[in-house]
Amino acid sequence: MADTAAQTLPDNALEALRERTTVVADSGDFETIRAYRPTDATTNPSLVLQAAGDARYRHLVDEALASTPTRGVTRVERLMTLFGRELTGVVSRYVSTEVDARLSFDTDATVRKARALIADYDALGVPADRILIKIASTWAGIRAASVLESEGIACNMTLIFSLAQAQACFEAGVTLISPFVGRITDWYKKAEGVEHYAPTEDPGVLSVQRINAYAKTHGYPTQVMAASFRNRDQILALSGADLMTISPALLEELAGMDASQAPGMSQQTSEIPRVSLDRARFDWAMNADAMATEKLAEGIRKFADDQVALEAQMAG
């Protein structure tokens, strides 16, 4: 029996992580994704912009330029759905595709764009149940996700920096949320003049633990996908979260580590009572959290800038 047990031990920290957490590739590079065998893949304008400049993917750019997208979808968005189509052939479950960040404060426009993206995927032969529509977690975005989920369109709410955002998403019944570990840590490092946090004191890690505990304590079905990691210690400290989206460089580090170095996250219970935030309470909670307000705005601007850069690249 001992020999059998030994044979089933994971070979490295990445394999050990997979036993507790669904691993998602944070990349538009198909070959890298294939190498690390993640279950899901997530894209955004930044990743597609980077991948579109790679000669290996020039055929997708050419296909986007030559094709006629579904009504309501731009050629840049057709490029994103083409990348998504290819990714569905590499991963077994979901591919996330982002709504234009410039629509982050317009509920109706976000709903229309999400429907158009799903229709475009359908035109490319990709069923809706393989796609997560990725939306910035503004109040308008969360309201849009509530509508879309009621129509059977699954959503990945991105740029989560606060418990208030997560609470509103849970109540909206979204499929998945993406709290951004590293960006939270970045903000606190600068604000507090700290060069490095131990995992047990890392503000980004603690934020995800708090959100995860709240979700599990109150029985929400929404999955928590930790994102935006700066180092492997953050990943290892959150092993056991529903999902993690991890860059190729960090996947490689984990694959080179001993399996015993993946301690994981202990089960936690939240003492915070379940709440249903209205717009005023949500806005106040965000206003009271300088980090969340600043990082959400910054993230939206960055995604919008990369969308504009991708449009310029396609036009040129």
Q: Which residues are catalytic?
A: 134
| Alpha-carbon gap, residue 204 to 187, rounded angstroms | 9
Q: By C-alpha distance, which of 157, 155, 166, 100 is closest to 128? A: 155
- Judged by phi (left if over 0) then psi (alpha if -120 to 50, else beta), residue 37 lies in left
Please give the C-alpha separations between residue 169 and each of 126, 145, 187, 209, in angstroms, as whole numbers.
Answer: 26, 8, 23, 16
- Reading the block at residue 75, the tokens are 């050629």
Q: By C-alpha distance, which of 37, 60, 40, 36 is closest to 48? A: 60
Count other Cβ atoms within 10 Å, centred on residue 59.
11
Q: What is the DSSP secondary-structure string of 60-113?
A: HHHHHHHS-PPTT--HHHHHHHHHHHHHHTTSSS-EEEEPPGGGTT-HHHHHHH
- Backbone Cα Rg of the chain: 19
SS3 303: helix
